[in-house]
Amino acid sequence: MPVLSRAQLNTVLSILAQRLDTLGIDYAIMGGAAVCLIANDPTRMTEDVDLVVHVDHRRITADLLTSLLIRSYPDDFAPITQYGHTIPGYKLKLLGGASRLVELEVFDYQSWPQRPQYDIPAATRTTVAVSGQQVKTFSAEWIFREKVLSQYQRQGSRKEETDIRDLFSMVPFLSPGKVELDFNHDQSLKDALRYLLQKRPDLEDEIEGVVKCTAVLGS
């Protein structure tokens, strides 16, 4: 699938955010799309959009949101079948009148309880203005932590290098004291950080005093 230009990504995100706000769905963008927004690096591109939604008293999970978006906004969204599972696709208009479906990968804590990081009320977030629309993303600290884990889990793959590049791009935006930067109580984070610093020792000076991990950083 071709990557999205920054203008195309902005279109997808601004319309998606508008529709979610109208439906009263709380959310946070993550993954490559969030990195693009926070780092504002024109060389970082993505081909899809990943997000987490908060399941409130209406019990609208990721799967139910797929149906709700398609039913409520058929001009904007259509179903995409992926490995036997249906996800929403945004109808991105192209030059010449053609269009393509941009995959929207939606997650929620209720459906993925093994991923406590998807508990939106407990996470730190930020907002970025995109084409006049406020778009909610997870914070740089949240993304940094996720990228530390994913580069360890995807050792040897091409995505590992992307993860490392992404986490480096988040470093200038990290604020000490955020809960996401305390690695002391999670062995998987300790292992992932130790592996990362063996590969990229130059990162240690940049995160010292910002990331808490006594076992690896001594602080």
- Considering only CA atoms, which of 107, 203, 106 is closest in space to residue 148? 203
For the segment 163-174, what is each residue's pLDDT rounded down to a tens digit? 999 999 999 999
Q: Which two tokens stand for residue 165?
A: 């590049």
For the segment 41-66, what is each residue's pLDDT rounded down to a tens digit? 889 999 999 999 999 999 999 999 99
Q: How far apart are CA 49 and CA 196, in angstroms?
A: 26
Asked if the model's pLDDT at residue 24 lies above 90, the reply is yes
Length reported for the chain: 219
For the segment 30-39, what is each residue's pLDDT rounded down to a tens digit? 999 999 999 9
Q: How far apart are CA 30 and CA 118, in angstroms?
A: 10
Asked if the model's pLDDT at residue 219 lies above 80, the reply is no
- Considering only CA atoms, which of 31, 23, 11 is closest in space to residue 170? 31
For the segment 86-127, what is each residue's pLDDT rounded down to a tens digit? 999 999 999 888 999 999 999 999 999 999 999 999 999 999
Question: What is the pLDDT at residue 84?
Answer: 87
CB 55 within 8 A of CB 106: no
